[in-house]
Amino acid sequence: MTQDMLSQTFGALADPTRRAILARLARGEASVSDLAKPFMKTMSLPAVTKHLKVLEKAGLITKTKEAQWRPCRLNGEPLKLAANWMEQYRAHWEDRLDRLDDYLKTITKKGVKNGRKK
């Protein structure tokens, strides 16, 4: 069964190691060994490579081969699709939070009017 692209994106983003790798790649391309360095005290190179494969499968990074060097680059398109998907819910939740704020102001005013303080 093939997951849709959005599910793969959110699945890849669910792991803090993968998010850290993406944050590093946001500053520019890097080799696999450069990406692995910050994690070498807590995990093996094969474990980091597995994280890179998840990111690559989700389309969040591209990895090429240039002689012995394997540069990785960030691909922002899946992130853009995820942000667009979340945007449709942002307006809904902002409206709900605004109504909650109005309600809380109303009950606070009633409490002050009745001589009650917090």
For position 71, which CATH number holds? Answer: 1.10.10.10
- Cβ count near 63 (within 10 Å): 16
pLDDT of residue 13: 97
More confident of the two residues 110 and 74: 74
Residue 48 domain-assigned? yes
What pLDDT does residue 51 have?
A: 97
Across all residues in the chain, what is the average pLDDT? 88
Q: Nearest CA to 32 among 23, 45, 44, 17?
A: 45
27, part of any domain:
yes
Residue pair 63/53 in contact (Cβ under 8 Å)? The answer is no
Q: Is 50 exposed, middle or buried (0-12, 13-18, 19+ CB in 10 A)?
A: middle
> Residue 17's pLDDT is what?
97
Mean pLDDT in residue range 24-48: 95
Give the range of the structural domain holding residue 47, as residue numbers without chain letter.
5-75
State the pLDDT at residue 115: 62
Q: Are 41 and 30 in contact (CB under 8 A)?
A: no
For residue 57, tell me if it sits in a domain.
Answer: yes
In a domain, residue 112? The reply is no
